[in-house]
Amino acid sequence: MKKTPPKQRYSPAPPPVISQLVTPPVTSQLVTLPATSPVTSQLAALPVTSQLAVLPVTSQLATLPVTSQLVTLRDWLVFAEDVYERAGLALGQIATSAHDEALYLLLRTLGWPLDSDASALERRIEPAQRIKLREVLRRRVVERVPAAYITREAFLGGNRYYVDERVLIPRSYFLELIPGRLDLWLPDGGKKVRRVADVCTGSGCLAIELAHHFPKARVDAIDLSPDALEVAKINVRAHNLTRRVNLYRSDVFDALPPPGAEAKAKAGMGAAETGMAGTGTAGAGAVVGTEAENGKYDMILSNPPYEPSKICDKLPEEFQKEPRLALDGGKDGLDIIRKLLAQARERIAPHGIVVIEAGGLRRAMERTFGGLGLHWLRTKDGSDCVCLAQAKRLQAARF
């Protein structure tokens, strides 16, 4: 049945796409569209593509002529949405709907503003632009390259981050927790936070969000992957935070100086080996307060790899394009979390908190770390998969 394309779903301002790009789904909650879905009515409304509708999606792209009758951005959007659906592309890395992701990708490829008003949909696509759009869709649909790796960017809240294949695409639940929700657990509503660790920093996005939220804090951003740290370095520089965000290459806290080493060094007792990746200068004037000087953290935060290995093996192709090291938490998913909690004991200040995103591991965490009195923080989507442990319980507990 032939229907007209749907009416505008492209709302003009505030920025229509970006505001929807950063819902934080986790890999265990992927929104995967069905692999075989009927040809949509929109596609049938397009003269050229309707003739291609019976072909598998990859051959559609291969045969789509440059001079196709996809005339306007709207035509391309409708086409792209349909191709997304029929190819069963996995979503959830930068957007949870094909519409949002495809529109973002098209606008970025054209170099048009993401907050273009709705009239952009009626703009004609020139032949040279068609070639670019076609190539981008080919990479996304046929090669299954995640959109963020094509555009080399991802958004977390209002902040833009450089990303590429060396890092997980930012989509953490911490986006909704860092701006205010963790402060309640800290003395003076977080005003005295001077020292924070972001363990498993990847692109550095959470370390940077933390540095923005706690303007007097120094943030130690830790990752095992030198590749990821290279990306983090780009982001730390772009956000002008090299004085406050220090990058360390380390397996959790293994390579960091022991707590107190810095104070001793300052007091002339010898410098500690730091293993720093070298974007910042540790203790660059922002660190004050006894606990901070002792190298203890007010907060240790982490979005670690937490998928059980078997789940990683079965992830959709797009997610397998992300570094395995960023996703794979070992047999039960808890490898890094176990180590982190054990090492956090001696690094957290007595008033401090440890906050960990744990995906689908809530039950396993309760079973394994029952004595910690974990608090599960509420998240908008109801998954409540970020837990918080207070220093005193952590230090007293056996696990």
Using CB under 6 A as the criterion, which residues of the chain lie in contact with ligand SAM when the complex forms? 167-168, 170, 172, 200-203, 205-206, 222-225, 228, 251-252, 303-305, 325-326, 336
Distance CA 342, CA 334 (A): 12
Continuous H helices in 321-379: 324-327, 335-344, 362-368
Angle at 206 between CA 342 and CA 333, to 5 degrees: 45
Pairing state between β 153-156 and 159-162: antiparallel
Residue 277: alpha-carbon gap to chain centroid: 21
Q: How far is the CB of 198 from ligand SAM (least distance, A)?
A: 6
Distance CA 66, CA 134 (A): 8
Q: How far is the CB of 152 from ligand SAM (least distance, A)?
A: 15
- By beta-carbon proximity to ligand SAM, the closer residue of 125 and 377 is 377
Q: How far is the CB of 216 from ligand SAM (least distance, A)?
A: 22
- By beta-carbon proximity to ligand SAM, the closer residue of 115 and 230 is 230
- By beta-carbon proximity to ligand SAM, the closer residue of 16 and 202 is 202
> Residues, the chain, total?
399
Q: What is the b/e burial string over 367-378, where b = at least 16 CB atoms within 10 angstroms of the residue's CB?
A: ebbeebebbebe
SS3 for 264-301 is: HHHCCCCCCCCCECCCCCCCCCCCCCHHHHCCCEEEEE
Distance CA 345, CA 319 (A): 33
- By beta-carbon proximity to ligand SAM, the closer residue of 133 and 163 is 163
Residue nearest to ligand SAM (CB): 202
Q: How far is the CB of 279 from ligand SAM (least distance, A)?
A: 15
Q: How far is the CB of 24 from ligand SAM (least distance, A)?
A: 9
- By beta-carbon proximity to ligand SAM, the closer residue of 264 and 321 is 321
- By beta-carbon proximity to ligand SAM, the closer residue of 22 and 326 is 326
- By beta-carbon proximity to ligand SAM, the closer residue of 5 and 360 is 360
Helix (H, G, I), strand (E, B) or coil at 214: coil
Q: How far is the CB of 2 from ligand SAM (least distance, A)?
A: 44
Q: How far is the CB of 196 from ligand SAM (least distance, A)?
A: 13
